[in-house]
Amino acid sequence: MPPPVPLTPERALERLFTTDSASSDWFAASFLSAIPLTKVDEITQQTRKGGGHYKGARAVEGHWLLDFEHATIRADLALDSDGRFTGLMIRPEEVKTTTLEEALHDFRALEGKVSVLVLTDGHDQGAIEPETPLAVGSTFKLATLTELRAEIDKKKRSWSDVVQLRHDAKSLPSGVLQEWPDQAPLTLYTLAAMMISRSDNTATDMLIGVLGRNTIEPFASRNKPYLTTRDMFVLKAPANADLLARYRAGDEAARRALLKEIHDKPLPNGETYPKEPTALDVEWFFTTRELCGLMKGVHDLPLMSINPGVAKRKDWTSVAYKGGSEPGVINMTTWAEKGGHAHCVSATWNAPQKLDELSFTTAYKRILSFLKDQP
């Protein structure tokens, strides 16, 4: 009997992405020791959900491109002599969209509350509940930047103004400034750039302290008091359940009265902070139309293009981006210009369960793909 023919990469990939549950026999022991089979199934199922029907694989410049109905996925892989995966890394390479409605359909299929707005030159191209306020995570930082720019434009402040890092402004990640020494000198430009490009929470809270909550609130009218990220982390910490209950029960005046007590609480331990959706009513709420309005006012600042988000720089003349997320919350807001046209795409998803961020991101990329191909 002839020896079995070694499994080719094409066949190994086809088997992986056309089967509901992978077999441990398809992976080397060293692979499974690093990535459990349940995680493999989660990744492949999310990929198929976002990409649609699997069509095949092709080798291109040392890696593989996997063609799905709605997307092309890049894969870097290694197989042992028995055709088992010893390494596998996949990431979206390109999404395919023929109509805007096709992309919006993917958002409508998400379970929970969804809001999407697509603007071109200030006019609606497509939308899903664009006037519905939802929690947007760190995208709220656009309001902070809007007030900072207004004060700089009025010559009240300068980008080069220096402030010292305050210990009581240090927050949990994202970001790195919480690790910096107290009293470190930082310019307002550095704080703003880190707030937007790295979504640095400590940089954000420093700027809120410099500007004052009350001055930012006109740009965030339903968010009173305008919470710092540290405020949110303290309120959602399990040890502060009583404080959270009082905050939830209070009107605006009562909530403002609690701010000092919130401030005096210690910063929670990031390792024990809830990893599941928690108190999603204690957040920052904006409509996607409001976010596009805020983005319009700051998109031309050079710091807005440091991190382009999921947009590809090569596809656009200029790109500005801010996104945000926490368990149960995700938003992406992009301003992109090309061919004399300006587009804003803002999408938010809230749900009381773990979000399928790959499906959300794929749908968002499909909108950008549609827009970049418009004349």
Q: Among candidates 89, 87, 88, 52, which has minimal Cα distance to 72?
A: 52
Tell me the C-alpha distance between 172 and 233, whole Å: 8
Pair 164, 101: CB distance under 8 Å: no
Rounded Cα distance, 40 and 23, in Å:
10
This prediction's pTM: 0.82
Would you say residue 281 has pLDDT above 60? yes
Choose among 286, 347, 327: nearest CA to 143. Answer: 286
Q: Across residues 222-249, what is the average pLDDT?
A: 98
Partner residues linked to 113 by β-bridges: 350
pLDDT digits (tens, 9 = 90+) for 186-223: 999 999 999 999 999 999 999 999 999 999 999 999 99
DSSP conformation class of 62: T
Which residues are registered as beta bridge partners of 135? 285
> Would you call 128 helix, strand, or coil by DSSP?
strand
Quote the CA–CA distance of 58 and 269 in Å, as a whole number.
Answer: 46
SS3 287: coil
Residues 312-338: b if buried by 16+ CB within 10 A, e if exposed: eeeebebbbbbbbbbbbbbbbbbbbeb
Q: What is the pLDDT of residues 78-134, one digit of tens each?
A: 999 888 999 898 876 566 666 899 889 989 999 999 999 999 999 999 999 999 999
Please compute the mean of the pLDDT values over residues 3-11 and round it to a whole number: 75
Between the CA atoms of 348, 349, 352 and 356, what dihedral angle is there, to the nearest 10 degrees? -130
DSSP 110-123: SSSEEEEEEEETTE
DSSP label at 301? S
- Could you read off the pLDDT of 247-273 as tens digits, one per residue? 999 999 999 999 999 999 999 998 889
Is the backbone of residue 279 left (phi > 0), alpha (psi -120 to 50) or beta?
A: left
The band of 71, judged by pLDDT with boundaries at 50, 70 and 90, is confident
C-alpha 197/C-alpha 320 separation (Å) is 10
From CA 171, how far away is CA 113, in angstroms rounded?
28
The helix (H) or strand (E) run that includes residue 322 is strand 318-326
211 and 151 in contact (C-beta within 8 Å)? yes
**Cα–Cα dist 184/190, whole Å:** 12
Q: Which residues on adjacent β-strands are paired with residue 187? A: 162
